[in-house]
């Protein structure tokens, strides 16, 4: 439901699904408490613990104080208490459905085409892979949605990203989105919702589409989406929260109409040549500062603070990044922690060893992904290679749970942000695909995954 916007007032948008976690909710629940409000519809809230949740095993809340620092442990206890008080089901330590909020939504079938989905996390755009309108909101808005199930919004502009061609061996969806952000710049999508289209769109799996939509926000876009198609329906058909029986048939009929008109016009368009795409890596402190892995770092670009960024990264302009020594490899986050991401990494790590002195941390996106990976023996491949295999969570994506990159250390990471200090104080981050991260773990330096393809 949408109440139309006017010049004076934004539209009132009904929210079909509200995803919550322990970090952006404490103030929102407190504000409900202060004003005597209840949660409008607890059935439309999906709650998990991910951001500051330890990735070492926690069997009981008593373990929490052993594996977590006081701040994160308090956030987790608050989340448990808030969900109990407001009647929201929480996927906590005892739930096999726990995981990163943007991994479990699709996995449970809560994410569906045409839904309006919000969460107090920027990478909510992930859910657009299913043809949902999904975007991040702030803490105050989290309170508004909990209390009213509605949000005030203005209509965004439209941006078409036309992707054509097929991915070559060693190249993946992460490389596509890094190329898109490089081309658009970190503010090229501001005020827009992106539709990812073109011949590549229909070839990509739902997990690949999620990786691309996930980072739409890094180009400044409000959200990103793919038109729902048979792949979308096949992904959702057996999920616990998907409609069943006649309701499924009716849903698919409705979802099939959620495509742009053939002759529609977009406010802005860009083209991406996927046929000629190489693996991409970042060299600076925003995701737009990216190059093909065998290019040299540019002497300059239009970013203000370009030199400062390279100084922070201790990376020289005019030189290649290939072969640059690293300290840490992180494979995880809501961008790249699904089963296909782990399979990509395992394919390269199989029978290999992580280089001496390199810490390689592999964190599944959910407990369900963990279970599936273990049933496929991927955990054994990772551990034999010398990598650490953990419980699910956001982990080194933002380093709130104790999993951090050390001060001054250089990490190749499959996460989505290479901002200064994002992975820990003084941490330096190179964003890359799981294939590139795995190849780099073996080499101990930035490595081209095509060497292992």
Question: Can you give the binding site for ligand SF4, defined by CB under 6 A?
Answer: 50-51, 100-102, 121, 123, 333-334, 394, 397-398, 415-416
For β-strands 116-119 and 17-20, DSSP reports them as parallel
Indicate the residue among 123 and 127 with the shorter CB distance to ligand SF4: 123
**Which tokens is 273 given?**
């040549």
CB of 119 to ligand SF4, least distance (A): 8
Q: What are phi and psi of 75, to 5 degrees?
A: -60, -40
Indicate the residue among 101 and 315 with the shorter CB distance to ligand SF4: 101
Indicate the residue among 50 and 447 with the shorter CB distance to ligand SF4: 50
Indicate the residue among 50 and 341 with the shorter CB distance to ligand SF4: 50
Indicate the residue among 334 and 438 with the shorter CB distance to ligand SF4: 334
Indicate the residue among 101 and 274 with the shorter CB distance to ligand SF4: 101
Indicate the residue among 101 and 133 with the shorter CB distance to ligand SF4: 101
Give the helix ranges, DSSP H, for 168-255. Answer: 173-184, 199-203, 206-214, 230-236, 246-255
Distance in angstroms (rounded) separating the CA atoms of residues 132 and 116? 6
Using alpha carbons, select from 431, 77, 393 the residue that is nearest to residue 446: 431
CB of 26 to ligand SF4, least distance (A): 16
CB of 21 to ligand SF4, least distance (A): 7
CB of 409 to ligand SF4, least distance (A): 19
CB of 111 to ligand SF4, least distance (A): 14
Using alpha carbons, select from 373, 311, 350 the residue that is nearest to residue 438: 350
Are the C-beta atoms of 291 and 321 separated by less than 8 Å? yes
CB of 426 to ligand SF4, least distance (A): 19
CB-based contacts of 375: which residues, under 8 Å, 6+ apart? none
CB of 378 to ligand SF4, least distance (A): 19
157 bridge partner residues: 192
**Which tokens is 300 given?**
């300059």
163 bridge partner residues: 272
Class of residue 264 by CB neighbours under 10 A (exposed 0-12, middle 13-18, buried 19+): exposed
Q: How far is CA 177 from the centre of its chain?
A: 12
Are the C-beta atoms of 410 and 325 separated by less than 8 Å? yes
CB of 337 to ligand SF4, least distance (A): 7
Indicate the residue among 100 and 118 with the shorter CB distance to ligand SF4: 100
Indicate the residue among 108 and 355 with the shorter CB distance to ligand SF4: 108
DSSP class of residue 12 equals: E
CA distances from 197 to 129, 159, 272 (A): 11, 10, 10
CB-based contacts of 158: which residues, under 8 Å, 6+ apart? 192, 193, 195, 266, 267, 268
CB of 332 to ligand SF4, least distance (A): 7
């Amino acid at each position: 439901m949408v109440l139309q916007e006017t010049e004076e007032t934004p539209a009132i948008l009904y929210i079909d699904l509200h995803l919550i976690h322990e970090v952006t909710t404490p103030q929102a629940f407190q504000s409900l408490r202060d004003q005597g409000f209840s949660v409008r519809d607890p059935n439309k809230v999906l709650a998990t613990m991910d951001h500051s949740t330890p990735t070492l095993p926690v069997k009981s809340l008593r373990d929490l104080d052993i594996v977590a620092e006081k701040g994160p442990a308090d956030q987790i206890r608050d989340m448990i208490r808030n969900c109990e008080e407001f009647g929201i089901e929480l996927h906590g330590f005892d739930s096999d459905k726990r995981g990163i909020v943007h991994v479990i939504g699709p996995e449970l079938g809560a994410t569906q085409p045409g839904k309006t989905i919000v969460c107090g996390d920027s990478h909510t755009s992930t859910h657009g892979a299913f043809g949902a309108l999904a975007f991040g909101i702030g803490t105050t808005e989290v309170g508004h949605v909990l209390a009213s199930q509605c949000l005030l919004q203005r209509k965004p502009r439209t941006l078409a990203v036309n992707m054509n061609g097929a991915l070559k061996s060693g190249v993946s969806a992460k490389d596509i989105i890094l190329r898109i952000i490089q081309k658009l710049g970190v503010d090229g999508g501001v005020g827009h919702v992106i539709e990812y289209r073109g011949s590549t769109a229909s070839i990509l799996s739902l997990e690949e589409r999620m990786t691309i939509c996930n980072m739409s926000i890094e180009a400044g876009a409000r959200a990103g989406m793919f038109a729902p198609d048979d792949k979308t329906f096949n992904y959702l058909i057996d999920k616990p929260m998907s409609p069943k029986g006649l309701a499924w048939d009716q849903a698919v009929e409705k979802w099939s109409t959620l495509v742009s008109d053939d002759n529609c016009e977009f406010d802005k368009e860009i083209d991406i040549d996927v046929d000629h795409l190489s693996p991409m890596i970042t060299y600076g402190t925003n995701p737009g500062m990216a190059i093909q892995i065998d290019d040299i770092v540019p002497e300059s670009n239009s970013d203000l603070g370009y030199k400062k960024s390279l100084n922070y990264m201790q990376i020289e302009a005019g030189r290649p990044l290939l072969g640059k020594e690293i300290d840490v490899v992180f494979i995880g986050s809501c961008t790249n922690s699904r089963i296909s991401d782990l399979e990509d990494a395992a394919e390269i790590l199989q029978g290999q060893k992580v280089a001496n002195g390199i810490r390689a941390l592999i964190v599944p996106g959910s407990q369900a992904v963990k279970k599936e990976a273990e049933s496929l023996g991927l955990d054994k491949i990772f551990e034999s290679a010398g990598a650490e295999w953990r419980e699910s969570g956001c982990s080194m994506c933002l380093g709130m749970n104790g999993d951090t990159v050390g001060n001054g250390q250089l990490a190749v990471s499959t996460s989505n942000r290479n901002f200064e200090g994002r992975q820990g104080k003084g941490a330096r981050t190179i964003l890359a695909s799981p294939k590139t991260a795995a190849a780099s773990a073996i080499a101990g330096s930035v490595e081209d995954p095509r060497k292992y393809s």
